[in-house]
Structure formats: structure tokens, C-alpha cells
Chains A and B, each alone.
Chain A
Amino acid sequence: MMHLQERITKILLDDFKVPAESLGPDTAFGDLGFDSLVIVELSLVLDTEFGVALADGDLTDSMTVTDAAELLLRMGVPS
């Protein structure tokens, strides 16, 4: 679980250029400035990175890195 959180965090920092100081495990994506388009973009990146197929609506702007990691775990991604 920690490992998944770290990988998602790294994606947010490296690919989405989220400032490190504004990002914590319980920061909602919406509070990072992610709008609905960026949420879909993020789900496409997670699809590729973790070999899953997130549906539209699986990720929402109220979710956090911890929530996303739990979602991936439920979809069978090894922790």
C-alpha cells in the first residue's frame, strides 16, 4: 500500500508537476487544482502505469492519493 502511494505520488510530482509542498497522502485531487479533464488524464496515466482499465468516474476530485492506492489494490494491483 505504501509502495503504491509512493508511485502515485511520484507520478503527480513528475508528470503532473504538482508542487511537493502542496501534496500529502490525504490531499484531495480537487484541492491540487485538478479539474475534471485532468482527473481523466490522471486515470489514463494510472491505466498505463499499473496495467488497469479505470472507468470514467472511478477517480473523482474528492479522492486522495490514499484513496487511489486503495482503488488500485481493489482492482488487483499488487501492493
Chain B
Amino acid sequence: MSPAVRTPAERQPFGAAITGLGLVTPAGIGIEENWQRVTSGRSCASRDPALRGGPVDFSCRVPDFDADTLIGGFACRQLARFVQLAIVAARQAVADAGWNPRSWDGARVGVVLGNSLGGLQSVEAGQQAMSSGGPRKISPLMVPMYLASMVAGQVAIDLGARGPSQVTATACASGATAVGTARELLRRGECDVVVAGGSEAALTPLAVAGLGRMGALSARSDTPELASRPFDVDRDGFVPAEGAGVLILERLADVRARGGRVRAVVRGYGAATDAYHPTAPAPGGEGIEQALRVALADAGIAGADVDHANAHATSTPIGDVIEGRMLQRVLGSRALVTSTKGVIGHPLAAAGAIEAAYTVLAIEHRSVPPTSNLVRLEPELDLDVVHGAPRPAPIEVAVSTSMGFGGHNAALVLTAS
């Protein structure tokens, strides 16, 4: 064990129970809808009329999301889409955990959510209004609808959660960072319940063109449904997506005392930084390896004992192979690996939270979802990457890894009980 993964002797093992899940993703709105689509292995990517004429004109959007029906009310129109997705996912998760926000002690409830791009749509509209009519035409709601921090603030308003709240911004690791941060709030006794997760909804022509100019996106415009193909030898970039995932975290003893249901347990969390390049992952995968080893040490679990890994693998030529080699080094080749991004694309800051939720569902269903579009495994990898059909398997220990621009890496260790 290297110095980086040594944990302080006084640090006791700590498990945070996951008692509720909420999912609003391209695979559907709701837990069952998501699980059915993700285990089907059918990609959600399709041609996107809003992106027509851009360098990449396809994406994975949340289907049939009608905020007026799902949230409603006068204030709904003041909520940016990434906030709307988060509110619906958070309400699902709270109900799933058996809590009623009208009766809980809101002062003991925290909110930690990941986001990167905020309400970019409001800035784009504001820029247009300013260009055509001058500064007086800018909406006074532009800034509050843009702010990334507003997703935690608005979810707190919706749920009456008056404990600590914050937004984590570690790019595509934000959702995993949020879950790890939420667990620390419980460990320190600052909260009794934490609403943790991530949300992203910035599929605007501007944002997608920017990602496309970086060379990060797949260029398979003719066959969008084949574009997201993590770990496949013919992968050429990720498919941009939107979505929100929320998990309710509580101390295990509290859940037992209230007779709640434990869906799974967050046993370990690790974070580390590449300190290498703004957007390219470190070639040796040192950062994500350190994050995963720290998470496993935090959980007191050996890499060889991990049954299942939900990989970050976004379908980029460089990232997938760096992460795959790292998984081999840390876990060996026994763990059943999947990347659910083959089905839902890459929802950026929401990815880590959505994938943590999928990992919980894999543990519960004793089934690893297939990696969509994986036909020929990247030859450099010797991993058991599930593809074609879901693989039934008892899963006691699972990990979920996340890597973000900025060299941010985060890993979660989840157990069945």
C-alpha cells in the first residue's frame, strides 16, 4: 500500500446506508424504467433536432420530461432544466426512502448535488436578448437560473431541507464527489439524512459544439445508436447526455431504528487528482488508481474481493483504455465490468450519481447490465466486460469510478449490506 492510500488509525469504518433512489435519465423517469432500459442494452442516442447543423447532431435526452406536469406550479418556469430534472429525481428518491418532507426535521437534512454547466440556456438567451435589445432586455432571472449552486438551493426549497447544502463541481466526477461528501456529513454527525446526487442538462448547440471542438465526442452522425460503445475497439468519443440521479443517504443505525429499508451501503470513498493536464487523463491512470485504492482502503476491502465495477468508460479512445488497465491492476480480472454509458451516453456531472444508482440496482437484482455496442473488446484489455446480455451474478461488493476534466477522480465502494 502506497503512502497515498494510508488511512488514519483513528478513522473508523463507516457505512452510509442508501435508502432511496431517484432517476431521471435518457433511459426513463423512474427506477424501474431505468433498470429495464439499461439491462436491455439498447442505446438511447438519437438525432437531436436542437443540434441540427452543428458538428455533432445527436445526443441522449430525457424522453417525455414535462416539467409542468411533473413539478407544476407558478415557480416551475423559474427553474432551469438541470434544476427541474434534479427536483423530480430528488422527490422520487425521498419517497423511495419512505420519508415525507412535510414531517421530517428539515434542519437535519442536507443536500449535496453535482453540476458542471449550470443553466447555460439562460445565459445564451440573455446574450441574444442583449445583442438585439440591449442590457434592459436581459431577464432578471438569468443569473439565478444560470448558477450551478441553485440546484442544491432549489432542491432544498422544494424539500424543506435546512441542513448544509452545496454543489460539487469536479466536472464529470461531480456526482460521485457529491455522494462521498454526503457520506462525510453523516459521519461527522452534521446531518441525519442527505439528499446526494448530480444533475446536468446543457445539451445546447453552444455546449455540444464546444465539446465537439475538443474532439471528445463521437462523430457517428449516421448511426447515433451505435456511437456510444465503451471499451469497444471501434469507439471514437462520447455521446453527450442529460439527466439526474439522486440517492438518499443515512446512518445505518438510524435506518434500523426507524425500520427503513437499506438498498445498499456506501462503504468507501476516495478522491485524487491527476495534476497532469486540463482535459487529458494522465496516461498511466495514476489519479483514478489512487482514488480507487483510497476508496477500497476506506472500506477495508481488497481489490480482489470486488465482484462488479461500473466503470466511468465514456467511449473515448484514450480514456477507456487508461481506466481499463487501471481496473486490471487494482481489481484483477475477476470483477464483472460494465459501462452503462453505452445505453445512456455521458450525462457529465450527473454521471457518477446515476451510475452509483445503477450499481445499487445491479447489487439488488444480482445482475450486471451489458455494455451497449461492445462487439470487440479493446485488445489491450484483459477484463470481463459484460456485453450482449445482462450477466446474473451475486454481487456483495461493487465499485463505481468517475473521472473528470481537470484531472478529478473519484471512486465509491458499495456493498449489499
Chain A residues close to B by CB (< 8 Å): 15-19, 32-33, 36-38, 40-41, 44
| Interface members, chain B 55-70 (any A CB < 8 Å) | 68
In the complex, the answer to whether B139 meets A38 with C-beta atoms within 8 Å is no
Say whether, besides A41-B139, A44-B137, A44-B139, A18 and B74 are in contact (CB < 8 Å): yes
Chain B residues close to A by CB (< 8 Å): 68, 72-78, 137, 139-141, 144
In the complex, the answer to whether B140 meets A16 with C-beta atoms within 8 Å is no
Q: How far is the CA of A40 from the CA of B143 in the complex (A)?
A: 14
In the complex, the answer to whether A17 meets B139 with C-beta atoms within 8 Å is no
Classify the interface of chain B: helix, strand, loop or mixed. helix
In the complex, the answer to whether B141 meets A41 with C-beta atoms within 8 Å is yes
Q: How far is the CA of A41 from the CA of B77 in the complex (A)?
A: 11
In the complex, the answer to whether A33 meets B75 with C-beta atoms within 8 Å is yes
Which B residues are in CB contact (< 8 Å) with A36? 140
In the complex, the answer to whether B73 meets A17 with C-beta atoms within 8 Å is yes
Most buried by B among A18, A36, A41: A41
In the complex, the answer to whether B144 meets A17 with C-beta atoms within 8 Å is no
Closest 4 CB pairs of A and B: A37-B140, A40-B140, A17-B74, A33-B74
In the complex, the answer to whether A37 meets B141 with C-beta atoms within 8 Å is yes
Most buried by B among A18, A32, A33, A38: A38
Which listed residue, B72, B77, B137, B139, touches A16 by the CB 8 Å rule? Answer: B77
In the complex, the answer to whether B74 meets A16 with C-beta atoms within 8 Å is yes
Nearest-CB residue, chain A, relative to B144: A37
Q: How far is the CA of A17 from the CA of B66 in the complex (A)?
A: 14
Q: How far is the CA of A44 from the CA of B137 in the complex (A)?
A: 7
Can you report 24 residue pairs joining A to B where beta carbons are below 8 Å apart?
Answer: A15-B77, A16-B74, A16-B77, A17-B68, A17-B72, A17-B73, A17-B76, A17-B77, A18-B74, A32-B74, A33-B75, A36-B140, A37-B140, A37-B141, A37-B144, A38-B78, A38-B141, A40-B139, A40-B140, A41-B139, A41-B140, A41-B141, A44-B137, A44-B139
Q: How far is the CA of A63 from the CA of B81 in the complex (A)?
A: 30
- With both chains docked as a complex, state the minimum distance between the C-beta of A2 and any C-beta of chain B, in angstroms: 25
Nearest-CB residue, chain A, relative to B139: A41
Q: How far is the CA of A16 from the CA of B77 in the complex (A)?
A: 7
Q: How far is the CA of A16 from the CA of B68 in the complex (A)?
A: 11
- With both chains docked as a complex, state the minimum distance between the C-beta of B139 and any C-beta of chain A, in angstroms: 6
Which listed residue, A19, A37, A44, touches B74 by the CB 8 Å rule? Answer: A19
Nearest-CB residue, chain B, relative to A36: B140
Q: How far is the CA of A17 from the CA of B77 in the complex (A)?
A: 8
